[in-house]
Amino acid sequence: MKSNQVPSQDVASGASTAPLLFAEDLWLSFGGLKAVQNFTLGLPRGALYGLIGPNGAGKTTVFNLLTGVYRPDSGRIVLDSQELVGRQPHEIAAAGIARTFQNIRLFPDLTVLDNVRLAGQLRASQRLGGILLRTGRQREEEATICRRAFALLELFDLQDRADTLATNLSYGHQRHLEIVRALATEPKVLLLDEPAAGLNSREKQELAGSIRRIRAQFQLAVLLIDHDMNLVMEICERIAVLDHGVMIARGTPAEIQHDPKVIAAYLGCSEPLN
Amino acid sequence: MTKDTPAAVGSPPPPSRAATFGARAWAVSLWPFVAGVALAAFLYFTLPSAIGPYYLRIVVDVGIAMVLAVSLNIVSGMTGQFSIGHAGFMALGGYTAGMITYYGSILCWGTASRHGGFLGVGDWLFVVACVVGGLVAAAAGYMVGLPSLRLRGDYLAIVTLGFGEILRVVLQQTNKVMEDAAAVRASTLSDWIPPPVGGAVGFDGLPKYTNLFWVGVFVTMTVVMAYRLKQSSMGRAMLAVREDEIAAQAMGVDIAKTKVRAFVLAALFAGMAGGLFAHEPGLIISPKDAGFQRSFEYLIMTVLGGRGSISGVMLAAAILTALPEFLRDFEQYRLIVYAFLLIIMMLLRPQGLFGIHEIWQIWPRRAGANPKTEAVAR
């Protein structure tokens, strides 16, 4: 279903205050189900925003739209003045959006190192002849990729497990490896899909610290989905709330906590208290 | 290039120019080829008198099977695309190479028999023919690779199966081979379309250039290529596609390009192996060599060896090629044995004999080995 084409507004075009990632009026439906309606979000440079909502609210679908897994029925997505709608997921990854997955999707039978090193192919300039001959330049490039991968693994203290198969890592380490792998693509925007799922409270605290640290170190904009309200309220600067594909609220954590529509959506009040 | 990465990620000093481009770099680049060719030459001069023609033939067969299995492994083992048309690429390359040597020899020297000795002019015509056969097969690999972008699993298998079977039927409808220079001179256009490669009886009369040396050279090329590919960014993209297409895309892997590249590469080497096969003494390449039974044999080699394990696949190719020769009396049961072998493998060791590891990686790692230095040293 094509919804009405919204006239493009001037928000994203060139102004110095333009957000790094800007999604405007995204619509997506699967048959009769309107999965995402009128989703608009501006993510400034260096921001750490949260996206929350009850199960099935469409949070992961928004990630899938932003990363090109789904193509929106209408609307536009702009990263750093590049239009992203209609681009392939790998092109969007190259443009600078990296993500983690809610249900971990590592490459299970590759080593930890190879999971991270893979991202090197994005910017590698290798040709078949160079690979066949293993030229000096090719080896130099591979060595650089490898050193960078180790530097990233050290962020989460995974460097000693570089030769372990990803599938043999503990659950917590797998979650960490997903983040490291996403960072290896040198993103401008990092989308974290429930990174705290299944972690205990101490691990969640560590994760909160890690996310902050990563953001500062790599100058990333981060968009975080999580069900753990303590985590989201603690680290996010602004939060958007989705329910049934509609953004029902947005604001600072304090505003969100007291928003009656949010409370209704989470606690199941039949009519919003407004 | 990756120069402007976040400063926090430590960027070590770049290696000196000498290490990158000097004589040592050339040594690293070329030593496997030199070693492989030297070994091939050594075997060529010593082995025939040591083991006699019967076993020699088996060794040559094993070599050709290795090229085919290792190249198929690029598609099925590394990239995870199920292909049972590999013999089709081989036959296409073989027939193409055969056309070049047979009619080329007749045009140049008036006869299709062998010309020149070891490394003589005939040998080089043969090598060029094999390479051209590989390129033609690679073009076909590109065409077959395209549907792989939309199909997966069983459906892709049917497409690749169809390719081999269609080729087999088409080859059966070809014209008969022109006997000699006089026949070529008297030929009209209708004798050349479809190509005069012998129809259902096979392409007989090819000069038999294939020997241990050339097989060794092509095995070296294929194995070094496959191994270096596996160690490269391009190869890791293929492995990622095998593991999880969605995650691979999210990491910036161009799935379409990667799959087609795998098909083209595999077909290239299969086509060259076809050239060796067509010119092997005592063999006549015929349309049934494009059929699924042969494809199936190579597939079993990759399954048995382990997906992505180059050395494992080479070992499997050696075993599965040599075994039927030693069990000649049980020839008719061979396919039953294969089927049983597959079932047992699927039950006991679905990842293949060596899984994703190379043979030398299955032994316990040396105590205290530092993974970092090892990885960087690679």
DSSP secondary structure code for residue B238 in this structure = H
Q: What is the pLDDT of residues A76-134, one digit of tens each?
A: 999 998 999 999 999 999 999 999 999 999 999 999 999 999 998 888 888 888 888 88
CA B120 and chain centroid, separation: 25
Is the pTM for the entire model greater than 0.90?
no
Whether the CA torsion A16, A17, A22, A27 is positive or negative: it is: negative
Count of domains for chain B? 1
pLDDT in tens, B153-204: 788 889 999 999 999 999 999 999 998 888 888 888 888 888 999 889 999 9
Between residues A270 and B28, the one the model is more confident about: B28
Which residues 62-91 on chain A approach chain B with CB closer than 8 angstroms?
67, 69, 88-90
Separation in Å, CA of B156 to nearest CA in chain A: 22
Predicted pLDDT at B60 = 95
Note whether A145 contacts B2, CB cutoff 8 Å.
Answer: yes
Of A105, A125, A138, the CB nearest to B247: A105
Which SS3 state, helix, strand or coil, does residue A191 take? Answer: strand
User: Residue A174 and residue A164: Cα distance in Å, rounded?
Assistant: 11
Rounded Cα–Cα distance for residues A64 and A70 (Å): 6
Assess if residue B279 is contained within a domain: yes
Task: Quick: pLDDT tens for B60-111.
Answer: 999 999 999 999 999 999 999 988 899 999 999 999 999 999 999 998 888 8
Contact between B264 and B238 (Cβ < 8 Å): no
Q: A residues 105-134 near B, CB within 8 Å? A: 105-110, 113-114, 117-126, 128, 131-134
Q: How far is CA B143 from CA A119, B140, B159, B267, in A?
A: 28, 5, 11, 11
Is B66 contained in some domain? Answer: yes
Closest CA to B317 of B4, B81, B64, B38: B64
**Interchain pair A142, B25: CB under 8 A:** no
Report the C-alpha gap between B121 and B114 in whole angstroms: 10
Q: Which residues of B touch A143 (CB under 8 A)?
A: 15, 376
Angle of CA points B57, B62, B66, to nearest 5°:
150
In a domain, B94, yes or no: yes
Indicate whether B18 belongs to any domain.
Answer: no
Q: What is the pLDDT of residue B266?
A: 96
Residue B307 lies in a domain: no
Q: Which of A176, A189, A256 is nearest to A223 (CA)?
A: A189
Residue span of the structural domain in which B119 resides: 30-291
Positions of chain A with pLDDT lower than 50, given as ranges: 1-16, 274
Task: List B119's β-bridge partners, or say none.
Answer: none
Q: What tokens appear for A47 in the block? A: 């921001």
Which of B291, B290, B232 shows the shortest CA–CA distance to B261? B232
Closest residue in B to A178 (Cα) is B247
Q: How far is A218 from chain B (nearest CA, A)?
A: 6
Min CA distance, B225 vs chain A (Å)? 5
Mean pLDDT of chain B: 86
- Closest listed residue to residue A50, CA positions, set A62, A38, A35, A36: A62
- The answer to whether residue B191 is domain-embedded is yes
Domain boundaries of chain A, sorted by first residue: 21-96+187-267
Task: Identify the H or E element spanning B236.
Answer: helix B233-243
Q: Quick check: helix, strand or coil at residue B174?
A: coil
Residues 173-212 of A with CB under 8 A from B: 181-182, 184-186
Mean pLDDT to the nearest integer, B196-223: 93
Helices (H), A96-135: 112-117, 120-123, 128-133
So what's the pLDDT on residue B15? 53
Give dist(CA A98, CA A9) in Å, integer. 26
DSSP state of A7: P
Is the CB of A88 less than 8 angstroms away from the CB of B246? no
Choose among A126, A136, A218: nearest Cβ to B25.
A136
Residues of chain B positioned with their CB less than 8 A from the CB of A139:
20, 25, 28
Angstrom distance (rounded) from CA B224 to CA B222: 6
Alpha helices in chain A (DSSP H): 59-66, 89-95, 112-117, 120-123, 128-133, 136-155, 171-183, 201-218, 229-235, 253-257, 260-267
What is the sign, positive or negative, of the torsion defined by CA atoms of B351, B357, B360, B361?
negative
Interface of A with B in 25-64 (CB under 8 A): none
What are the pLDDT digits (tens) for B101-130?
999 999 888 888 888 888 888 999 999 999
Instruction: Answer yes or no: are the C-beta atoms of A226 and A196 closer than 8 Å.
Output: yes
Question: Which amino acid makes up residue B50?
Answer: A
Locate A49 and state its tokens: 């925003």
Q: Residue A193: in which H helix or E strand, if any? A: strand A189-193
pLDDT above 70: residue B365: no
pLDDT at position A126 is 81
Residues of A in contact with B246 (CB under 8 A): 69, 105
User: Domain A21-96+187-267 falls in which CATH fold?
Assistant: Rossmann fold (3.40.50)
**Per-residue pLDDT reduced to its tens digit, B238-273:** 999 999 999 999 999 999 999 999 999 999 999 999
Q: Do B15 and A152 touch (CB under 8 A)?
A: no
Residue B316 lies in a domain: no
- A157 inside 8 A of chain B by CB: no
Residues whose CB falls within 8 Å of the CB of residue B75, separated by 6 or more in sequence, listed in order = B81, B83, B86, B262, B263, B266
In angstroms, what separates the C-alpha of A106 from chain B's closest C-alpha? 7
Burial class (CB in 10 A: 0-12, 13-18, 19+), B57: middle
